Structure 1
Amino acid sequence: MQHQNRLREQRERQQARAHAQATARAVRLSEKARRDWERACASADRAANQASAAAVKERARLHVEAQLAEVEARDATLAEKYGAIDGILAATLDVDDYVDLNALRQKIEHPAFDRPDLTTPTTPPLPLPLPPEPVYVEPAAPEGLGSLLGGRKRHVAAVEQAQAMYWQQRHEWEQAVAQRNYAQEANERAHGAAEANRLRALSVAQSEYEAECAERRKQVMQANVQLERLIVGLQEGEPNALEEYVSIVLGNSVYPECFEVQYDFSFHGQDRELELTVSVPLPSDLPTEKSFKYTKASDTITSTPLPLKARKDRYATAVAEVAVRTAHEIFEADRDGVVNTLSMTVGVDTADPATGHPTRITLVELATDRTAFERLNLSGVQAAATLEHLSAGVSKNPHDLVPVGNTRGVRG
């Protein structure tokens, strides 16, 4: 028993040591797994922080690029506006301002009648299939001994049964045929109704189309008749015809969006003189920036103002070029020489600073005749010098809306 007890104690100690070793090993593995997890989390956090920092840096870079691109776009837009304003006269010199009225004759062009939903007949219904007609087959008569041993009676009974079945089948067949015929007739009636509706709708649509064609013909004929009257009126020197032609010419004259020009005019047929009132934008309507720049520190886009002298010079030049351009377009477009002289004022409509009431300030007064103006070579002139050469009255300071100080350039 003592021996057994020692063996048992020995086994228990061995089991305890094994259990303690297993526990220690499990604890070490657990701690290792925890440390690995912590290291992985720390690594992931570092990577995320790095990625976040990189993303922030990339966003900042892209923002700066976008702001610089915005500055470039604004500078380009500004340069385009200034280029258009500075080229008011040059823009018309390569353009033939004559309007060939004969080319304005309209032609009658009708769109095709495009209603395939109405011009295409509806598809007729297909014939419904007929059920197969039953066929009577009489049982065969008995032969030989069968006809003597009760076969006749059985044959008679079979015939009666076959006939009864046949007539039952035929009755059912006739009912099926009747139902089929009824359905076929219903389909054909529906098709007929659909076709009738289509034809009615087609008739209405065709009537509307023909009415539209008639209206187009009427409008084109009226426009061509008016055009013919305009052509004849121009040939005869009628004031109304000349004024309408001038409105077409000046309507074709395209100015920059930032420098819109408007006209009012009348033609005095007896003197063959066209009198024009030309309205130009106020100086405050024009851009005042020289350029744009981006400041990274404050993340702002600011503008550098254009020097006052540059603004004054540009506005004065533009006003002078409007006067010269208008006279050029009128005389060039009037190939028949209906207009002999031209009397023009160029100015702005604004509010009187003293009264607050609407007032007009005249900046240029010009009177010239065709002969004197056509001697000019406008491709090499300065508009202000041209006006001086034509004895026009010009404001000494158009930008500050100083009116013309004399009336030497326009007839009273």
Structure 2
Amino acid sequence: MGRTVEGHARSDRPPGRTAEAAQRTAAVEERVRKLGEILSDALAIDVHGTDLQTLKRAPRRAPPTTSPSDLQPHPGPVWEAFVPHPPGRFRWWGAERRYNRRLACAEDRFAEAIERHWASEESRRERVARALRDQLEQQRRLDEATAEQHARIDAYQRAVENRDRTAVSRYFQKALERVAEPLDFPRRRRVGYVPESTLLAVEWDLPDVSVVPAEASYRYDRSLDAVLAVPRPEKELRLLYQQLVAQIALRALHLIFGSDRYGVVDTVVFNGMVESVDLPTGQTVRPCLITLRATREQFKALVLDQLDPVACVRHYFSAEVSRHPEELQPVEPVLEFDLADPRTIEAVDVISEIDSRPNLLELSPESFEHLVQNLLTRMGLETRLFRRGTDGGIDCVAYDPRPITGGKFVVQAKLWTRTVPPSAVRDLFGTVLDAGATKGILITTSGFGPTSYQFATGKPLQLIDGTALLSLCHHHKIPARIIRRAS
């Protein structure tokens, strides 16, 4: 018995639906492959930073305003064109008189033509002179605009080279904004420079876990005559996402250190954020899913095309990585971005030369002690055992009464203008161990070098430089500024 038309149609479906399942599986696998090549794709691009001199506009020439027909003198009238033909050999009576009249008329016309030509030439010369004056004025304005733009670029470059907070932040903000991202990746990133510590803080928005395909593959179900998704195991989904986040962090370090054409960044703090909605409250939240601190020397030792990104950020940089990113479980940033945000610092210091806030560098040790104690109290810590050090520093033990995250903190504050040496950070760590403290906090009015940050990585130490100190004072409404007077 032959097949019905419907039977033929159903028999044709499996190969077509099977091919559809294979195509959709291939698309998922291609997506996973591309997510796994985020870092390698970045390594294939030469990163050298922007030479600010290349931003200078080339000199522009004012276009000519003189009509081409006015550039050359116009030919004047020629007498030969006016002179009448003289009488022939055989002259009729009165021919000479008539010729003389024609000659006189020709002379009059020639004189009028000469006069008109002179007037025309005078008008032409005036037009040319006026056009040249206009062109010269336009050229002067163009030259002034070019010189002003070049001066701005030179001033900007000097500011970057001199490690100006705003200029360096702007330089790297522009550099990172030019980074191409997949269409479904967020593009928001913020940059803040801390000149006291030659540190660049970066807050980078990450895609959420949904960027990783939840389907491992597709298959055709003959009984349902449908293409069904094969779900990806949760463990594999989490590992793929952690791999992606680690790649993004390492790529950011690669881009930042590679873009540092002027050698102004020694340390980078990377905070990877995800913007999402907290389902119980419906409010927008921005948990930090990865945070790390890296020095230039640490990063130079990496062979980026051979390492395991997750192992690198976890063990080499001692990064804090969310163990459950799919649940938006946050980690505590090694440095809150607000403590380095140039907009916050500018707001604090906008009238620093004329306001009444105390300059911390001009405080006595006793006044500095009171300020630090006031700050710690407003931060929710209970201070004990204040002891003033011989180096102008202040030591105390503070207690955070909060459960789980609280504990006993050893706090040291340095009223210094010079960079805090690594030995002070090592001494603080020894004090933390001797005191059995939960954390050590070193506060200074100056800054830290990359060696100090490298030593503090992975240890219960928090380094607060002058910029972060001012930001904390501003946040807790304590009037303060840091002005280094010229000696």
Matching of residue 318 in structure 1 with residue 244 in structure 2: yes
Shift in Å at residue 227 of structure 1? 0.9
Shift in Å at residue 366 of structure 1? 2.3
Structure 2 residue matching 1:124: 3-state secondary structure: coil
When normalised by structure 1's length, the TM-score is 0.57
Instruction: Write out aligned runs for 1:90-129 (5 A).
Output: 90-94=40-44, 97-99=47-49, 101=51, 104=53, 109-115=58-64, 117-118=66-67, 121-128=71-78, 129=81
**d(CA) in 2 for partners of 1:183, 1:336:** 71
Return closer, same or farther for 1:206/1:335 CA change in 2, 3 Å cut-off.
closer
User: Larger RCO: Structure 1 or Structure 2 (Cα < 8 Å, ≥ 6 residues apart)?
Assistant: 1
Instruction: Write out aligned runs for 1:369-380 (5 A).
Output: 369-370=295-296, 372-380=298-306
Shift in Å at residue 403 of structure 1? 1.9
Alignment partner of 1:131 out of 55, 60, 83: 83
1:8-39 deviations in Å (ceiling 9; x for gaps): xxxxxxxxxxxxxxxxxxxxxxxxxxxxxxxx
Counterpart amino acid of 1:93?
L
Matching of residue 345 in structure 1 with residue 271 in structure 2: yes
Counterpart amino acid of 2:96?
Y
**d(CA) in 2 for partners of 1:176, 1:75:** 99
1:317-339 deviations in Å (ceiling 9; x for gaps): 32221112223333455588765
Shift in Å at residue 230 of structure 1? 2.0
Match of 2:137 in 1: 207
Match of 1:178 in 2: 108
Contact 1:327–1:342 (CA under 8 A) maintained in structure 2: yes
Alignment partner of 1:189 out of 103, 119, 134: 119
Alignment partner of 1:219 out of 149, 152, 155: 149
**d(CA) in 1 for partners of 2:99, 2:311:** 114
Shift in Å at residue 78 of structure 1? 9.4
Contact 2:287–2:330 (CA under 8 A) maintained in structure 1: no
**d(CA) in 2 for partners of 1:371, 1:288:** 39
Match of 2:449 in 1: none
**If each structure's helix is expressed as a fraction of its own residues, which one has the higher value?**
1
Structure 2 residue matching 1:259: 3-state secondary structure: coil
Alignment partner of 1:360 out of 273, 286, 304: 286
Contact 1:249–1:333 (CA under 8 A) maintained in structure 2: yes
Contact 2:198–2:266 (CA under 8 A) maintained in structure 1: yes
Return closer, same or farther for 1:132/1:385 CA change in 2, 3 Å cut-off.
same
Alignment partner of 1:393 out of 308, 320, 339: 320
Matching of residue 89 in structure 1 with residue 14 in structure 2: no
Counterpart amino acid of 1:208?
Q
What is the aligned length? 303
Identity across the alignment (%): 21
Structure 2 residue matching 1:404: 3-state secondary structure: coil
**d(CA) in 2 for partners of 1:202, 1:374:** 59
Shift in Å at residue 76 of structure 1? 11
**d(CA) in 2 for partners of 1:222, 1:105:** 13
Shift in Å at residue 213 of structure 1? 1.2
Shift in Å at residue 201 of structure 1? 1.6
1:92-121 deviations in Å (ceiling 9; x for gaps): 3355645375x7366674244552845762
Counterpart amino acid of 2:41?
A
Structure 2 gaps, min length 5: 1-22, 219-226, 336-460, 463-487
**d(CA) in 2 for partners of 1:355, 1:76:** 39
Counterpart amino acid of 1:221?
A
Structure 1 gaps, min length 5: 1-71, 140-161, 293-302
